[in-house]
Amino acid sequence: MKVLVPVKRVIDANIKVRVKADNSGVETNNVKMAMNPFCEIAVEEAVRMKEAGTAEEVIAVTAGPTQCQESLRTALAMGADRAIMIETDEVLEPLGVAKLLKAVVDNEGPGLVIMGKQAIDGDNNQTGQMLSALLGWSQGAFVSKIETAGDNLNIVREVDAGLQSLTLKMPAVVTVDLRLNEPRYASLPNIMKAKKKPMDMTTPADLGVDVSPRVNVISVNEPPAREAGVIVPDVATLVDKLRNEAKVIS
Amino acid sequence: MSILVLAEHDNETLASATFNTVAAASQLSGDIEILVAGSGTSGVAEAAARIPGVAKVLNADSAEYGNDIAENIAPLIVQLAPNYSHVLAAATTFGKNVMPRASALLDVQQVSEITSVESDDTFIRPIYAGNAMATVQSTDAIKMVTVRMTSFEAVADEGGSASIEAVSATGDVGLSAFVSQEVSVSDRPELTTARIVISGGRGMKSGDNFPLIESVADKLNAAVGASRAAVDAGYVSNDFQVGQTGKVVAPDLYIAVGISGAIQHLAGMKDSKVIVAINNDEEAPIFQVADYGLVADLFDAVPALDAELG
């Protein structure tokens, strides 16, 4: 079975983003970028499936400007076998990305797509579910456990009330949550080896997909700031302030 | 055109998220109708019909809708959506699972987790863990929208008398089968709706120390939460997680214990009315958003707080 892992390059999770002065978006020039943390978990899971013998080949794919190849190289260094780069300077929305990924799935025929549940830039949490819909496949969103069982996939999903266990018919799209695994760091020899692994280049036009945006971004603004508070000397003062000043406890 | 609100429920009780979603819908122009998709949902449909301002309740009561299976519920939404200008659902794990599936089938780019309605096609939503707020305008004919619960004050649950109409089921597509649901049982209030929340972070050092804050929670009738670091370290399960990728809360009082205040955590709690931080590191970023900060060892301060509350 082939496993396809879509990944996204985003501003590094540890960077505090700044809104651009013209309110058109956030500053991305000279800002440290990295693979979206949920995508790392997805790559890790696919590589583990290959190591365990349940997957034969792990293919990483991304879409975006040329620099996004970095995230594909990271996936290759973590253990993916080859990569597909869909190059475009268009602003991509989840629906457009899902259509691009569907075209890749149609070409490659994977039995499973594993991807992050959300990217930490747009925070949309849509692409996996949309891809699953467009393919007419089963859908496991926010997954913290994956087990293959013949033609089925047993998964555990993180839901608001607790945990939901489902059996998915394969092929399937799963989106991963934090507790699925702890992604490995790529070793230096593997980073060197990754440079020689194959990367196919394509474009939305080659794939026959229209990715024109449907949502106009009118402006991007700073969130309202909280006023600075006070440091209290001890617990008694804290409780007194909460009772008599903030009046939030009785 | 009318607005369709997807109800959130467990087949028995209408969940509070529905009342927040109706509040968002009431800021749009058009009648509000509620879709209840589930199994054995007559009670839920009746509760939905009692919400003031709701014109009609559509009750899709069939076994294949009973376990929140997205592959079964999405076709129902797809079938109904062309009759509406908007379809709204709460940005809960249920809404986040089902709505994008339905949106893709409708060829609509969904707008996720809005915090404000600016007009019928324009919304504000947080991006980058709430470090920026984007004002976005949907150009699709049907607006598919999920709603951040904490940004819309719940509407009343009594006073309305909408009609209830049965909707024919779309069938089991046979892709996912429900196995079981492990529901975290607690006598404490639910995290997303509690008036007071007390959360523990990596500073708690172990899940064995969570009873320290649970004791305080019980005295304040508070819910217990946790940072992602505490969940990652295995102290508590993921349904406790407050933050960008967990739950978003906005209680009257939020007490952060042993939480440094990473961007990802602040994203889930910085709209709380009053924030208290207890941390032994006075440089911790949590103090920048706290109304009241206490620089202290939590293993002294939390038992002292417990005692002070009687």
* A213 chain-B contacts, CB cut-off 8 A: 109
**Number of helices and strands in chain B (H, E):** 8, 16
Residue A240 lies in a domain: no
Q: How far apart are CA A41 and CA A67, in angstroms?
A: 21
Among chain B residues, CA nearest to A93? B109
Supply the CATH number for residue A69's domain: 3.40.50.620
Residue A231 lies in a domain: no
Mean pLDDT of A187-215: 97
Answer yes or no: are the C-beta atoms of A71 and A62 closer than 8 Å: yes
* B304 chain-A contacts, CB cut-off 8 A: 234-235
Instruction: State residue A138's pLDDT score.
Output: 98
User: Percentage of residues in chain A with pLDDT exceeding 90?
Assistant: 94
Under 8 Å CB-to-CB from B164, ≥6 apart: which residues?
B45, B46, B49, B56, B57, B59
Among chain A residues, CA nearest to B136? A217
Residue A50: CB atoms within 10 A of its CB come to 17
The per-residue pLDDT for range A56-101, each reduced to its tens digit, is 999 999 999 999 999 999 999 999 999 999 999 999 999 999 999 9
Instruction: State residue A38's pLDDT score.
Output: 97
A223 touches chain B (CB under 8 A): yes
Residue A230 lies in a domain: no
Give the amino acid at A19.
Answer: V
Under 8 Å CB-to-CB from B63, ≥6 apart: which residues?
B39, B172
In sequence order, the β-bridge partners of residue A211 are none
Answer yes or no: are the C-beta atoms of A238 and A246 closer than 8 Å: no
Residue A142 lies in a domain: yes
User: Percentage of residues in chain B with pLDDT exceeding 90?
Assistant: 94
Q: Do B175 and A94 touch (CB under 8 A)?
A: no
Under 8 Å CB-to-CB from B91, ≥6 apart: which residues?
B112, B113, B146, B147, B148, B149
Which stretches does DSSP call E strand in chain A? 2-6, 9-11, 33-35, 57-64, 82-87, 112-116, 138-149, 152-159, 162-169, 172-176, 199-202, 215-221, 230-231
B139 touches chain A (CB under 8 A): yes
Instruction: State residue B245's pLDDT score.
Output: 84
Residue A76 lies in a domain: yes
Residue A160 lies in a domain: yes
In sequence order, the β-bridge partners of residue B224 are B198
Q: How far apart are CA A124 and CA A105, in angstroms?
A: 22
A149 touches chain B (CB under 8 A): no
* Confidence bin at A226 (pLDDT 50/70/90): confident
Answer yes or no: are the C-beta atoms of B160 and B49 closer than 8 Å: yes
The tokens describing B15, both together, are: 């969940």
Instruction: State residue B179's pLDDT score.
Output: 96
The per-residue pLDDT for range A212-223, each reduced to its tens digit, is 999 999 999 999
User: A136 lies in which domain range?
Assistant: 2-220
Q: Do B133 and A220 touch (CB under 8 A)?
A: yes
Instruction: State residue A176's pLDDT score.
Output: 97
Give the amino acid at B194.
Answer: A
Residue A238 lies in a domain: no
Among chain B residues, CA nearest to A243? B309
Residue A244 lies in a domain: no
Provide the number of structural domains found in chain A.
1
Q: What is the largest CA-CA distance in chain B?
A: 60
Instruction: State residue A161's pLDDT score.
Output: 87
**Which regions of chain B are under pLDDT 70?**
none
DSSP string, B117-186: E-SSSEEEEEEGGGTEEEEEEE-SSSEEEEE-GGGSPPPPSSS---EEEE-------SSEEEEEEEEPP-
Under 8 Å CB-to-CB from B155, ≥6 apart: which residues?
B19, B22, B23, B26, B51, B52, B53
The tokens describing B219, both together, are: 């005295």
Q: How far apart are CA B168 and CA B163, in angstroms?
A: 16
Instruction: State residue A140's pLDDT score.
Output: 98
CA distances from B112 to A125, A176, A202, B100, B260 (A): 8, 18, 29, 9, 28
Under 8 Å CB-to-CB from A227, ≥6 apart: which residues?
none
The per-residue pLDDT for range B171-223, each reduced to its tens digit, is 999 999 999 999 878 889 989 889 999 999 999 999 999 999 999 999 999 99
Instruction: State residue B187's pLDDT score.
Output: 87
